[in-house]
Every structure is written in structure tokens, then in C-alpha cells.
Structure 1
Amino acid sequence: MKKIMILTMALSFFAVSAQTKKENKVSEEKTNHKKEAKMKKRILIIVSNANTIGPNNRRTGSFLPEVAHPYAEFDRANYQIDFASLTGDTPYLDALNLAGDPDNLAFLTGKGWETMQKAVKLSNVDVSTYDAVFVPGGLAPMVDMPENALLKKVIKETYERNAVVGAVCHGPVSLLNVKLSDGSYLVNGKNITSFTDEEEKGYAIADVPFLLESALTKQGAKFHAAAVWSAHSIADGNLVTGQNPASAKGVAEKMIAILEAPKK
């Protein structure tokens, strides 16, 4: 009888011990999942709401690969990707003829375009909760981004809290007229690029209100131009810019490299 009692007690002990270990493991897994969720980087893509530009009302929007290629890179990095637009209205896409590209097609048929169509009005977004903001090009930003006061404030504050600011092609117009807390232009003394004057003269010179390269240079930017339509992106601190559609992937890759770099 005594042996039976001892055996029963031993079995009970091991059962409780096993259950405790299981509960501890579940608790640890939940904690790890919470940590992973907390650590997940957040990217805000800010898009234009314009759909025409110039005296002839040329149709425009955000240039498809300049949204889709960075989106694909951020998605592969397992980042949370949200969209905001200046007015909160449904944004437009340009260059849909490039839908055959794998990343472009994945964006259009997957979650990307669906999410972009529901872009939140920028004034309703707490941008301080994001690790980076990214502004794609297309001709559209040349319409509603050169002087948008809220956008300039968002870019300034994002840059000054050392979050990452990225833009490609005509997207760097978002950097134009941004003044930092010391009164200097954000682009002053920075190594940057954008759609070049040479590229514009062969593309939309009759439609744009000004030449972006010239405007950025006038505010003190150290402008770097590569061969027309070639992939070219630059990182200067936490500021990343790209020259044209072919540069969009490179901009995202450089942004990710900065975000993943060990904190000093």
C-alpha cells in the first residue's frame, strides 16, 4: 500500500512538473511573439492625390514601379506597410502598362493596391509612430507636394527624430522647401538625387511647373546625377533618394539597411 502511495505521488509530481513546463513554454512563446510584434518596423508610404498635370491636363498618378518595387522590398523585410495621402481621397496610379513586371503585378493583384486605395488622410496619421516614411514619384507629386505645409512638417519632424526619410524620382519634391528647426533647408549640403533636368527634358518638360533638380540645387543640395534612366540611389545619413523608376528598389534596399543597422 505504501509503495502504491509513493508511486501515485511521484506520478502526480511529474505530471504537475510537465504541465508547468508546458505552461512556461507557452508563456515564453507568447512573450516572444509580443516582442516580435513590438519590434516590427513600420513604414508609411505617402502618396499624391493628383491625377492630372500641366496645361494639357496630362493624366498622371503615382508611378506604379516606384510604389510596387519598394513595397515588395519592405514586405520581404516583414515590415508593416501603411499608406497615407494628402487629402484622404483614393490615389491614382500611372504606368499601368508596366503591370507585367512580377513585383508590379503582385502589388496590383495582392494586398498592396488594395491598401493604397484606402490610404488614410495624412492629417489623421500619427507619423511619429513610424520608423520611416517613403514618397514615391510619378508626375503627381509635382502638383500637390511642392508647398503642402503638413507634408513639409511631417518630413521635417521625421528627419529630425532620426527616422528614415526616403523618396524616389519626382518624390524628392517632398523635400523641397522643408526647413529644419535651425531655419536651414533640409536639402542644404545633403547628397541627394531625383529625376534629373536632362531626364525631364525628354519626358514631361511641357507639363511640370519647374525642374526638380534645379530647384533642389537652388536650396543647397549636393546633387548627384547618373546616366539618364539608369538605377541610381544615394543615402546621406537617414535621408535616401533615388533618381528615377529604375532606382526605386535601390532606395528601399538602402532604407532597410539603415533600419536594420545596429543602433550606436
Structure 2
Amino acid sequence: MTILKSQKINLLRKGIASAILLASFAASGTAQASERGKVLVILSSEQTVALRDGKTYHAGYYLDELEIPLRKIIEAGYTPVFANPKGNPVTFDKASNDKIFYDGSDKKRAEAVSYLEGVDALKHPQTFKNILKGGTKTFVGVFIPGGWSPMQDLTTDKDLGKILTGFHQQGKPTGVICHGPAALISTLPDAAAFTQALAAGKPELAGSLAKNWPYAGYRLTVFSRSEESAVEGAQAQLGGNVSYYAADGLAQAGAHVDRLGLWAVNVVEDREVVSGQQPFSSDAFGNAFVAKLKNSL
């Protein structure tokens, strides 16, 4: 009896250890045995964003826009692979480290920060060039969280344009939220000229440059102009005004931009693309994107 009891205890210990190990693998994005596939997570390399009149805003990804969908992706059995233009580690926008995005729960907010700190792969993103070497066929989907940082580099990154074009051509799930949808502009033939025209207040010129955009005619949602206006200004969160509105950029490129009221939960699905309007849409967006991943198998 003593031997059997000892064996049961050892088996229980091994089981607990295995569970902890699997959880650790999942959190670090390195699980291999039971993964459903790899999801490419695109981040900006920038922590500051240029505003009008020479002002800047200290940005980063939005905490809940990355953490909530990422947690759902990992728990569903997918392995995240992080990448950005420079391959440099980045962190969240300090303004997003707020319980308001976690149902007013400071405990949930703190747990979100701790969770991302435990995702080791997030600290070592690959470069876009490295992703291109391996190609996009090894991934089952791509996810781009928001924050203002994507407006600084992702919208005009040619390598990202190639990566996203690959996912589009293969019809693989593409999840974008808040300012993340603006990264789709990178697939334009001359994204730099397009965004420069928008910043210069020349929408007609921008429209003339929006030829052969892969996502023309798609229904998308994005951080709305009214929401942008609510956080602009010297006394507001941004401390200045953005160079151009992400919603206007997508509309000029050829998308049908769907926006609900200020801070309303909004998720739009069209073909392979799932888009969310802003941080308060993160939970619904994460569920919709994971469902899209599962249904695409």
C-alpha cells in the first residue's frame, strides 16, 4: 500500500510538472507538440510617433489589444511568432496600462502586464526580412495590434507589404485592431507617397495613388476619426494632432470603413480579414479572430 501510494504521489507530481511545463511553453510561444500552427504577430519598432507641428507622442502597442487576443491565440493552441521592422524589443503605451481597458479591474490589468512579461518570444522579435526568407506559407494567420506606433513605420514598410500580400493571396486569416488596420496600407505600390499626400491634406492625390490595393472593396473597421479627435490636442492624451487619420487613409485606399459610436465594441469580418475598432473591442475581436483561424483549417 505504501509503495502504491508513493507511486501515485510521484505520478501526480509528474503530471503537475508536465502541466506547468506545457503552460510555460504556451506562454513563451515555443510550444511544438500540440500546436495548431504558427500565427505571425506584427509589431511596430517605434516607441514615438510624429505629430503635427513637430510634436511627438511616446507610444507603443496598446496593452489589451495585444494581451487579450494573444492570450486567446495561445490558449487555442497556436504558437505566436513576433516580428517588426528592426527586430527590436518594444513595450506598451503607458496610457494603455489602465484598468479602464480591463472592466475597471486593477487586478486584471496587473495580470495582463505579468502575462506579457512571461511571453519570452515577445522580447526577441524577428525582422520582417527574416520572415520573408522563410515565407508566409508556414503561418496559419497574421495578427496586428494597435496603438499609434503602426502609423509611424508599418504603413510604409515595403517588407511588411510583401508579407501581408502573401497572406492575402493565400486567403489566410488576417486580424487587425485599432490602428493595426492602417498597416494594410503598406501593400500599396507607393505607400510612402500615399501617406505623404494624406499628411499634406491632399486626399485626391492620395486617392490617385491607391491603385491595385489588395484590400480595395473590403469592409474594415479602425480607430474612428471621432475617437481620434477625442484624444487629440495639447491638453489631451496625445498632446497634439495626428498627421492624418487612419480611418481616412483606409477609405482613400479603397476600403469601406465601418465605424460605430464613440468607444463602442465593433468587430467587422470580410473574407479573410477580421478588424476591431479600438481597445474596448479587444475581447470580441480576439474571439472572432481565433474562430476565423479554426474555421480556416
TM category (shorter chain) comes to: 0.7 to 0.9
Report the residue type matching 2:38 in the other structure. Answer: R
Give the Cα–Cα distance (whole angstroms) in 2 for the partners of residues 250 and 154 of structure 1.
26
The SS at the match of 1:208 is coil
For the aligned residue pairs, the C-alpha RMSD in angstroms reads: 2.3
Q: Give 1:128 shift.
A: 2.5
- Where does the alignment leave 5 or more consecutive residues of structure 2 unmatched? 1-31, 190-210, 234-239
Cα distance, 1:184–1:101 mapped onto 2, change above 3 Å? farther
Contact (CA 8 Å) 1:156, 1:179: kept in 2 or not? Answer: no
Contact (CA 8 Å) 1:142, 1:208: kept in 2 or not? Answer: no
Give the Cα–Cα distance (whole angstroms) in 1 for the partners of residues 183 and 56 of structure 2.
22
Q: Does 1:257 align with 2:291?
A: yes
Q: Give 1:101 shift.
A: 5.4
Contact (CA 8 Å) 1:132, 1:165: kept in 2 or not? Answer: yes
Q: Give 1:39 shift.
A: 6.1
The SS at the match of 1:154 is helix
Give the Cα–Cα distance (whole angstroms) in 1 for the partners of residues 67 and 159 of structure 2.
25
The SS at the match of 1:83 is strand
Contact (CA 8 Å) 2:220, 2:270: kept in 1 or not? Answer: yes
Matched residue, 2:113: 108
- Where does the alignment leave 5 or more consecutive residues of structure 1 unmatched? 1-35
Give 1:1-264 correspondences, 5 Å limit.
Answer: 37=33, 40-53=36-49, 54=51, 55-94=54-93, 95-98=96-99, 104-110=109-115, 112-125=118-131, 126=134, 127-179=136-188, 184-204=212-232, 206-261=240-295
Contact (CA 8 Å) 1:83, 1:116: kept in 2 or not? Answer: yes
Q: Give 1:185 shift.
A: 1.1
The SS at the match of 2:250 is helix
- Cα deviation 1:160-184 (Å, max 9, x = unaligned): 111111110000111114249xx62
Q: Give 1:124 shift.
A: 1.2
Q: Give 1:107 shift.
A: 4.1
Cα distance, 1:251–1:80 mapped onto 2, change above 3 Å? same
Give the Cα–Cα distance (whole angstroms) in 1 for the partners of residues 296 and 276 of structure 2.
24
Instruction: Point out the more displaced range, 164-173 or 118-127.
Output: 118-127
Cα distance, 1:90–1:131 mapped onto 2, change above 3 Å? same
Q: Give 1:117 shift.
A: 1.8
Give the Cα–Cα distance (whole angstroms) in 2 for the partners of residues 39 and 61 of structure 1.
29
Contact (CA 8 Å) 2:157, 2:186: kept in 1 or not? Answer: no
Give the Cα–Cα distance (whole angstroms) in 2 for the partners of residues 97 and 246 of structure 1.
12
Matched residue, 1:33: none
Matched residue, 2:203: none
Give the Cα–Cα distance (whole angstroms) in 2 for the partners of residues 214 and 65 of structure 1.
24
Cα distance, 1:193–1:102 mapped onto 2, change above 3 Å? farther
Give the Cα–Cα distance (whole angstroms) in 2 for the partners of residues 41 and 254 of structure 1.
17
Give the Cα–Cα distance (whole angstroms) in 1 for the partners of residues 141 and 225 of structure 2.
28
Aligned-residue identity in percent:
23
Contact (CA 8 Å) 1:72, 1:107: kept in 2 or not? Answer: no
Q: How many pairs does the alignment contain? A: 226
- Cα deviation 1:211-235 (Å, max 9, x = unaligned): 1111111111111101111111111
- Cα deviation 1:120-166 (Å, max 9, x = unaligned): 22211233311011111001111111111011111111111111111
Contact (CA 8 Å) 1:49, 1:92: kept in 2 or not? Answer: no
Contact (CA 8 Å) 1:72, 1:103: kept in 2 or not? Answer: no
Give the Cα–Cα distance (whole angstroms) in 2 for the partners of residues 204 and 146 of structure 1.
20
Q: Looking at CA atoms only, which structure, 1 or 2, has the larger radius of gyration?
A: 1
Give the Cα–Cα distance (whole angstroms) in 2 for the partners of residues 87 and 41 of structure 1.
24
Give the Cα–Cα distance (whole angstroms) in 2 for the partners of residues 185 and 71 of structure 1.
28
TM (norm. structure 1) is 0.78
Contact (CA 8 Å) 1:49, 1:86: kept in 2 or not? Answer: yes
Give the Cα–Cα distance (whole angstroms) in 2 for the partners of residues 97 and 210 of structure 1.
26
Report the residue type matching 2:46 in the other structure. Answer: A
